[in-house]
Structure 1
Amino acid sequence: MLADKKKITIAIVDDHPIVLEGLQKVLMQAYDYVSTLCFSTGGEFLNFIKKAGTGTDIVLIDITLPDINGIDLCREVKTLSPDTCVLAFSNHNERSTIMRMLQNGASGYLLKNCTAGEVVSCINEALSGQIAFSREAREIMARPSARDWQVLPALTKREKEVLKLAADGQTSAAIAVQLHVSPLTVETHRRNLMQKFNVKSITAAVKVAMEMGLLG
């Protein structure tokens, strides 16, 4: 419970109804003066900010959303409403993903296996100006990995498209049809991606891209 009686507004951006309902219950039980708002897409929350002219005190954001990567959403939220504290609430446990959220202005990171008490504690810490982590997220941050220091490869727009479609399991032939290019062109992009990620297969390139938070 916060020391003062100021009413706080907390938004939750997640496309799983059970997560929205569960977090709402936790927050309503934890605070006497709280208003909760739920959004299933990042676009809905951004539209809310634009229409209201201001954001909420806190917003809990999932990394994987139907319309936008949570890392990119964090950056847009902080641009539109700098005073809104952004907390990631996600299953993604890669240290590089946590780092990218913080670099985009997040006030903390919670993994979805945390307790209700951790959620409330992290919200209070963020509202008091601290960087907040759930227990497991804090442990991850204490273990640097070589991947954290790897420079993000510079990808062209077409390479990003091919990478995303490959991550969806599409073949070169299917990607070629969708992008209106030849299969040979797609193969060239796949080789370039493998070279840029320093791996020997497109599957490995997709894995590294996910670890870096490039695919949401």
Structure 2
Amino acid sequence: MSKESKITLAIVDDHPMVLEGLKSLIQSQENYQIYSFTKGTAFLDFITGNEVDLVLLDIVLSDGSGLDFCKSIKKLSPKTIVIGVSNQAERSIIFQLLQNGASGYILKNADSQEIISCIKEALNGKVVLSKEVQEIMLTQPVYSYELPKITKREKQILQSIAEGNTSAQIAEKLFISLITVETHRRNLLQKFKARNMIELVRIATENRLM
């Protein structure tokens, strides 16, 4: 098969092992020209001057959210097929990526055959979801996810939590009582339906609330 007839595929992931694993897997197929990127911004630069048939896009990148990059990719190159490849298994994130123009979502624990199958089906115009993603979409309640509104003080506390400060340090820094900080922390967990502070910070970071 000539180079001209090859499918141009890009992988955007900032984890070297994942990047190399996907690259090696897809290279086992003979009809792909593969490009890899560790930053979403680098891929956006690339796509402005190059045609890309399909991109495997991580959701959490060191220079931004894959949710936002998906929007930008579809704006710059509407014909490029975007498939999210991530460890993020929350229905709201999957749904948002699809709303932003993606044609599929694969969890990183999907097996090799499933990944290749999803790529081929997406190239044939189908919306593709790995088996576990299909189960998540079917079993979790359907609702329109809207980000909660947060106050200026809650935003300050979120930022401080993300920086690794303890409640006592936050109280001292913002000149408020320890009880007030703890109350805000509990309220933030409830607002974002987060199970813990790590998940809270991740959701806030992905949606650029800090």
SS at match of 1:48: helix
Q: What amino acid is aligned across from residue 42 of structure 1 in structure 2?
A: G
How many residue pairs were aligned? 203
Counterparts of 1:90-129 in structure 2 under 5 Å? Answer: 90-129=86-125
1:18-57 equivalent positions in 2, closer than 5 A = 18-30=17-29, 32-50=30-48, 52=49, 54-57=50-53
For 1:200 and 1:107, locate their aligned partners in 2 and report how far apart those are by CA, in whole Å. Answer: 27
Partner of 2:205: 215
Matches within 5 A, 1:60-99: 60-99=56-95
1:1-60 C-alpha deviation (Å, 9 max, x unpaired): xxxx93111111111111111111111112x2211111111111112123x1x4411111
| Amino acid paired to 1:116 | S
- Alpha-carbon displacement from aligned partner over 1:102-123 (angstroms, at most 9, x marks no partner): 1111110000011111111111
Code of the aligned partner of 1:48: F
1:172–1:77 Cα change, 3 Å: farther
State the one-letter code of the partner of 2:7.
Answer: I
Alignment of 1:133-212 (within 5 A): 133-145=129-141, 148-155=143-150, 159-160=154-155, 162-171=157-166, 182-184=174-176, 195=187, 198=190, 204=196, 207=199, 210=202
RMSD over aligned CA atoms reads 3.4
Give yes or no for contact 2:194–2:200 (8 Å, CA) kept in 1.
no
Tell me by how many angstroms 1:126 deviates.
1.3
The alpha carbon displacement at 1:156 in A equals 6.2
> Highest relative contact order (Cα 8 Å, sep 6+), 1 or 2?
1
Distance 1:45 1:15, change over 3 A: same
Decide whether the 8 Å contact of 1:162 with 1:190 is kept in 2: no
> What amino acid maps onto 1:153 in structure 2?
P
Secondary structure class of the residue paired with 1:82: coil
TM-score after normalising by structure 2? 0.79
| Cα separation, partners in 2 of 1:14 and 1:176, compared to 1, 3 Å | farther
Q: Which runs of 4+ in 1 moved over 3 A?
A: 155-162, 171-177, 181-185, 187-210
Q: Which letter does structure 2 place at the counterpart of 1:215?
A: T
- Kept in 2, the 8 Å contact 1:193–1:202? The answer is no
Q: Distance between the aligned counterparts of 1:129 and 1:176, measured in 2?
A: 53
Which runs of 5 or more structure 2 residues have no equivalent in the other structure? none
Is the alpha carbon distance of 1:24 and 1:140 closer, same or farther for their aligned partners in structure 2, counting shifts above 3 Å? same
CA contact (8 A) 2:170 2:181 kept: no
